[in-house]
Amino acid sequence: MGRGDARGENGYDLGAWAGLGWRRPWLGIAMSLFLFSLAGIPPTGGFLAKYVVFQAAVRSDRWLLAVVGVLNAVVGAAYYLRVVVAMWMKETEKDEEAFPLPVPAAMAWVMALSGAGVLYLGLAPGRLLDLVQSLAESLL
């Protein structure tokens, strides 16, 4: 299977991610951060988003919805964290090239700004949440 074809029998070849964190540390860190956010692990914006949604479900007495959401989040986290494990804890195959092309500067900036936003939303979301709340109140 070539580098351009990342699909295996089941749809994905997790081995394509093997060793990315050690071959390209900044890409590995960024991808890990984004996957942690998708999984809802603190201190990322994904955790805040899931917390707010589940809190709203509980406040509106939709307990079943909250329980199903939490279970779905756990199942999703298992899939996301498998990729992180492959990136950092599995060795790459010897015959694969180690991503010979450099990351374009524009893509590096986008990843850095996105990563900063994900961390900001997880660590200090107060100002943004206040802004969103005031905007929502002005619409009502």
Asked if residue 112 belongs to a domain, the reply is: no
115 within domain boundaries: no
Please determine, for residue 70, whether its predicted confidence score (pLDDT) is greater than 90. yes
State pTM to two decimals.
0.80
Cα separation, 36 vs 71, whole angstroms: 17
Dump pLDDT digits (tens) for 12-22. Answer: 778 888 888 88
66 within domain boundaries: yes
pLDDT for position 1: 41
Query: Does residue 104 form part of some domain?
Result: no
Q: What is the DSSP letter of 101?
A: S
109 belongs to a structural domain: no
pLDDT-derived band at 116, boundaries 50, 70, 90: very high
Its domain, for residue 79, covers: 14-94+121-139
Average pLDDT, integer, range 71-84? 95
Helix axes 105-123, 25-39, angle to 10 degrees: 40
Provide the domain count of the chain. Answer: 1
Could you tell me if residue 113 is inside a domain?
Answer: no
Whether 110 is covered by a domain: the verdict is no
Query: Residue 99: inside a domain, yes or no?
Result: no
| pLDDT tens digits, 95-115 | 555 556 688 899 999 999 999
